[in-house]
């Protein structure tokens, strides 16, 4: 199915074959999880070129691909492979090849032409099948559990690092093959930076704490943000928190298939703008999630990606106030025929005990 879609794209764009170098794309199409290798896919052939370290792994993970053994540099093998599949116009992923690699390939490209392509596989990846959805749901459930755990763990006086480590150990010891990304625990003023990481700062009672985390299971990622208050939240916290929650709720209720990422973004942004905090929300509403933590579709102010059933993406508005902190609430949703289904189950009440 995945190869069929790619082959349709090849035919539509008038290419005979395509070379795939982007790691997640390579895995998505072949099943091969190794960290080095190039796929060559034509209408009737599928080849995976890699080196000695991975020969056995390829046979196990990618039985539908013919293994081409790289014993020297890949470029020395390239003309032969292209000839074997009988290709004249050969696509490559222009965003995932270094200038040096491109130059090397170009040097040996005799009798065929290298044609740049953009996001072909990424577009196919944006729509998830049931198997992928199942893996994403597992990763989401683990992050949800980690959050439920941390709510009972976190107390004023702890450092951000202690809280982040507790989250990491929780996810790693309960099935995450790795973290989806470095955990963010941003307390008080640190939370004003949307991508703050983790510091030795001591969390104080009454201030917002933004926690952004995700687990990776079977290659698929989750991405969860909740903002809590260690201790009693004050009026300011409640005001900001309610606006962010309202923005998220509006998007989750009103986004429909056929909208662009930009239109989805505008729904939540309007709520925050009308509340007077438009200048304090500087990032997009969300992003696709799957084999990569950030993938298609884009769900931001500039995204023309059309949201289709089967797409999985985040909905994560936020408000960031210098010297005070930030509030961000992030869910993962899957697009259905009649709107989005929220997959994240982590509580949102804890921000306002």
Per CB under 5 A, 265 contacts Zn ion: no
Instruction: State the nearest-atom distance from the C-beta of 225 to Zn ion, in Å.
Output: 5
DSSP for residue 171: H
Q: State the DSSP H helix or E strand holding residue 229, giving kind and residue range, or none if neither.
A: strand 224-229
Output 160 or 330, the one with its CB closest to Zn ion. Answer: 330
Output 225 or 303, the one with its CB closest to Zn ion. Answer: 225
Residue list 38-67, contact with Zn ion (CB under 5 A): none
Q: Rounded CA gap, 101 and 73, in Å?
A: 11
The alpha carbon of 256 is separated from its chain's Cα centroid by a whole number of angstroms, namely 21
Instruction: State the nearest-atom distance from the C-beta of 332 to Zn ion, in Å.
Output: 8
Instruction: State the nearest-atom distance from the C-beta of 212 to Zn ion, in Å.
Output: 4
Instruction: State the nearest-atom distance from the C-beta of 181 to Zn ion, in Å.
Output: 8
Cis bond leading into 331, ω under 30°? no
Instruction: State the nearest-atom distance from the C-beta of 317 to Zn ion, in Å.
Output: 11
Output 43 or 145, the one with its CB closest to Zn ion. Answer: 145
Output 280 or 314, the one with its CB closest to Zn ion. Answer: 314
Output 201 or 283, the one with its CB closest to Zn ion. Answer: 283
Residue list 299-338, contact with Zn ion (CB under 5 A): 314, 330
Q: Which of 88, 73, 63 shows the shortest CA–CA distance to 38?
A: 73
Cβ neighbours of 264 (radius 10 Å): 29
Q: Rounded CA gap, 81 and 272, in Å?
A: 54
Instruction: State the nearest-atom distance from the C-beta of 223 to Zn ion, in Å.
Output: 4
Q: Residue 318: CA atoms inside 13 Å, Cβ hemisphere, count?
A: 29
H helices of 178-328, where?
Answer: 235-254, 261-274
Number of residues that bind Zn ion (CB under 5 A): 5
Instruction: State the nearest-atom distance from the C-beta of 74 to Zn ion, in Å.
Output: 34
Strand 113-117 vs strand 178-179: parallel, antiparallel, or unpaired?
unpaired
Output 212 or 252, the one with its CB closest to Zn ion. Answer: 212
Strand 331-336 vs strand 312-315: parallel, antiparallel, or unpaired?
antiparallel
Planar angle of CA 38, 41, 43, nearest 5 degrees: 175
Output 9 or 133, the one with its CB closest to Zn ion. Answer: 133
Output 70 or 332, the one with its CB closest to Zn ion. Answer: 332
Instruction: State the nearest-atom distance from the C-beta of 294 to Zn ion, in Å.
Output: 7
Residue list 99-118, contact with Zn ion (CB under 5 A): none
Give the dihedral of Cα atoms 290, 294, 297, 302; nearest 10 deg: 170
Q: Rounded CA gap, 2 and 55, in Å?
A: 23
Instruction: State the nearest-atom distance from the C-beta of 179 to Zn ion, in Å.
Output: 12
Dmax (CA) of the chain: 71
Residue list 220-249, contact with Zn ion (CB under 5 A): 223, 225
Strand 89-93 vs strand 113-117: parallel, antiparallel, or unpaired?
parallel
Q: Which of 327, 147, 144 shows the shortest CA–CA distance to 245?
A: 327
Output 144 or 330, the one with its CB closest to Zn ion. Answer: 330
Residue list 182-221, contact with Zn ion (CB under 5 A): 212
Q: Summarize as ranges the residues that interact with Zn ion (CB under 5 A).
A: 212, 223, 225, 314, 330
């Amino acid at each position: 199915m995945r190869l069929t879609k790619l082959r349709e794209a090849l035919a539509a764009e008038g290419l005979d074959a395509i070379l795939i170098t982007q790691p997640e794309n390579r895995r998505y199409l072949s099943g091969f999880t190794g960290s080095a290798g190039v796929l060559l896919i034509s209408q009737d052939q599928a080849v995976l070129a890699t080196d000695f370290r991975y020969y056995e792994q390829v046979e196990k993970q990618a039985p539908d691909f013919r293994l081409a053994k790289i014993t020297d540099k890949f470029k020395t093998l390239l003309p032969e492979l292209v000839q074997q599949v009988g290709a004249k116009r050969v696509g490559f992923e222009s965003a995932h090849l270094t200038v040096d690699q491109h130059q090397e390939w170009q040097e040996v490209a005799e009798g065929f032409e290298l044609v740049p392509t953009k996001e072909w596989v990424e577009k196919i990846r944006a729509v998830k099948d049931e198997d992928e959805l199942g893996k994403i749901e597992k990763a989401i459930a683990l992050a949800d559990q980690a959050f439920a755990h941390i709510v009972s763990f976190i107390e004023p006086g702890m450092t951000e690092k202690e809280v982040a480590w507790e989250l990491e150990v929780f996810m790693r010891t309960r099935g995450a093959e790795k973290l989806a990304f470095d955990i963010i625990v941003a307390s008080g003023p640190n939370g004003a930076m949307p991508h703050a990481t983790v510091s030795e700062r001591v969390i104080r009672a009454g201030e917002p704490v933004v926690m952004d985390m995700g687990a990776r299971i079977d290659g698929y990622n989750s991405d969860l943000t909740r903002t809590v208050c260690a201790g009693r939240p004050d009026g300011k916290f409640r005001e900001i928190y309610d606006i962010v929650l309202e923005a998220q709720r509006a998007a989750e209720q009103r986004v429909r298939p056929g909208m662009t990422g930009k239109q989805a973004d505008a729904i939540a942004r309007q709520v925050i703008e009308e509340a007077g905090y438009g200048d304090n929300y500087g990032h997009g509403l969300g992003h696709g999630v799957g084999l990569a933590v950030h993938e298609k579709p884009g769900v931001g102010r500039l995204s023309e990606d059309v949201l289709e059933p089967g797409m999985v993406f985040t909905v994560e508005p936020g408000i960031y106030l210098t010297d005070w902190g930030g509030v961000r609430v992030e869910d993962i949703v899957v697009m259905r025929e009649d709107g989005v289904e929220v997959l994240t189950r982590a509580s949102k009440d804890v921000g306002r005990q």
